[in-house]
Chains A and B, each alone.
Chain A
Amino acid sequence: MTSFLTAFFSGTAQGAIYALVSLGLVLVWRGAGIVNFAQMGQAMFTTYIASQLIQHSYSYWSAFVIALISGAALGALVDLGLMRPLTSRKNSQLLNSQSMRTTIPVIASLGILGVLKALAGIFWAGEERGFPSPVAPNAIKIGSTNLAITGFDLFVIGVVFLTLVLTTIFFTKTGMGLAMRASALNPEVTRLSGIKVGSVRTLGWAISGTASSLAGLLVTPRTNLSPNTLDLLLIVGFTAAVVGGLTSLAGSVLGGFILGYVISFVNVYSAPENVFIAILIFLLLALFIRPQGILGSKEVRRV
């Protein structure tokens, strides 16, 4: 029973982080038709920025906020500086080919990932370092019995829950949220409504950058920080996005939690070295059984 609860709670906390990563991927995919493989590279970079600030005796929370803002800026920069010029280029023989239009941005995002990792290595020496959390990672006690959940788990779940609520309000209750959904669903009708679809897309990149930056801040107290630590998170986030349906924001969050439980239960009941294989099997099963994802819609899948 205790091991079940442990798996459940740590699955919820991990799943919350995966949900953020997956949400970030889906935001960009819906808006721009690009899967951004550099996403967790960007997050790694902003987490290093926070870590540097904390080392220079800034408070945790100011470093936290600055990291989120740099995440947004970095996301917008990737779009403005690279992806937008790349995808809007006309008359390029290579980009006229259907499959290459999706392949080239993938390659570009891998380039960014490589450059960010190398730069982080050069700037911050690349050795693994810890990252602080504002809450101690000890199990919560009631009287003298240890509960299966730690204060840090609760912190992560709380922060992500708040983020998801704010995101939902943004998308369903604000004009800008409506503009973002509309641009993703039908850019032409949206442009004909007088909305600057390009700017809306850049905003999507910025929000995605913020979400993944948050994921970086929340995961590194447990995994430590090095140029490569967040690679795994990208893979899991991608799987979560596919499982949930790449076109659905709600699906991406759901997929994140599902992956959290899968990984956590494999960890507790099986062995950590089975996690990768479990992810691969899960991904392949999802692709064969329901390629549009749990909440994705078939028509809109941009393939």
Chain B
Amino acid sequence: MLAISNLVTEFASVKALNGVSFQAKPGLITTVIGANGAGKSTLLRTISGLERASSGSIKWFDQELTHKSVESIVRSGIAQVPEGHAVISQLSVGENIELGGLFRKRIARGDLAIATKEVYELFPILYERRNEAAGSLSGGERQMLAISRALVSRPKLLLLDEPSLGLAPLISAQIISIVNDLCRATGLTVLLVEQNANTALAVADHGILLALGKVVADLPAKEMIADSSLRAAYLGY
């Protein structure tokens, strides 16, 4: 279980997160939605250790994550797919995937091979293009690659930052549905950040609405879909 309480993250003068508290249940998809600048990316980056929290706590089961380094957070099973299809475009597709599992090479070589095979089965197009530069992929393929890079580390918690950003609706639906299947099949815990509330809430179990660094609604996904006044107030549609 991921338990966040009173989390505050500041940049110079802005409090990007201003006392955020919520929980994400294991094996389920929790989605964080909010307008641009609400603090969604900052939330994920603080969980991963890329930003330092000024106060509050982030607990993954009984581990406290604030003050841990990015590497040790990743190594304890928390993988992030950062905003904007973050792959390393000058490396090949295969190298990007290899990178994600590199730290497990010595500790679990056998399983790493299996995990690599699994992501190629999940996204066969990546296997076909494994020797090409990641920069030559289409937007959707890049997002698949970014997710694959995270998956080969065999995470228990997957943090996804706006995977559908800039993708055609059909492709983003396909990617989200693959994530959904994965979660249901393997018991992976997912924290899905989206601006596009409909796509996210359709697959999520639980919804968190973030505005100006604060949680303004914390509801089961079904109820959040139904509440049109919330959407009108915070998302503007």
Contacts and interface: CB of A to CB of B under 8 A. Distances in A.
Interface of A: 175, 178-179, 181-182, 185-186, 188-197, 297, 300
A293 B71 CA distance: 34
Contact of A185 (B71, B80, B91): B91
B91 A181 contact: yes
B40 interface: no
B103 A193 contact: yes
Interface of B: 48, 50, 70-71, 74-75, 79-80, 82, 86-88, 90-91, 95, 98-100, 102-103, 105, 149-150, 153
B186 to A, nearest CB: 19
Given A175-B105, A185-B88, A186-B88, A192 B98 contact: no
B50 A179 contact: no
Nearest to B81: A192
22 contacts: A178-B98, A178-B102, A181-B91, A182-B88, A182-B91, A182-B95, A186-B86, A186-B88, A188-B50, A189-B88, A189-B99, A189-B149, A190-B99, A191-B71, A192-B82, A193-B99, A193-B102, A193-B103, A195-B99, A195-B102, A195-B103, A297-B90
Taking each of B79, B99, B103, which has the highest tally of chain A beta carbons within 10 Å of its own beta carbon? B99
B137 to A, nearest CB: 15
Nearest to A189: B86
A191 B88 contact: no
B18 to A, nearest CB: 21
Contacts of B149: 189, 193
A193 B100 contact: yes
Given A186-B86, A190-B99, 11 more contacts: A175-B98, A175-B102, A178-B91, A178-B99, A182-B91, A182-B95, A188-B82, A191-B50, A192-B74, A193-B99, A194-B71
B91 A194 contact: no
B103 A189 contact: no
B102 A179 contact: yes
A186 B75 CA distance: 19
Contacts of A186: 86, 88
Given A178-B99, A179-B99, A192 B70 contact: yes
Given A178-B95, A179-B99, A192 B88 contact: no
Contacts of B50: 188, 191-192
Which one of A185, A189, A193 has the highest number of Cβ atoms from chain B below 10 Å of its Cβ? A193
B161 to A, nearest CB: 11
The 9 tightest CB contacts between A and B, nearest first, are A194-B74, A194-B103, A191-B70, A186-B88, A194-B75, A193-B99, A185-B88, A196-B71, A193-B100
Contacts of B75: 194
A285 to B, nearest CB: 27
Contacts of A192: 48, 50, 70, 74, 79-80, 82, 86, 150
B82 A194 contact: no
Contacts of A195: 71, 99, 102-103
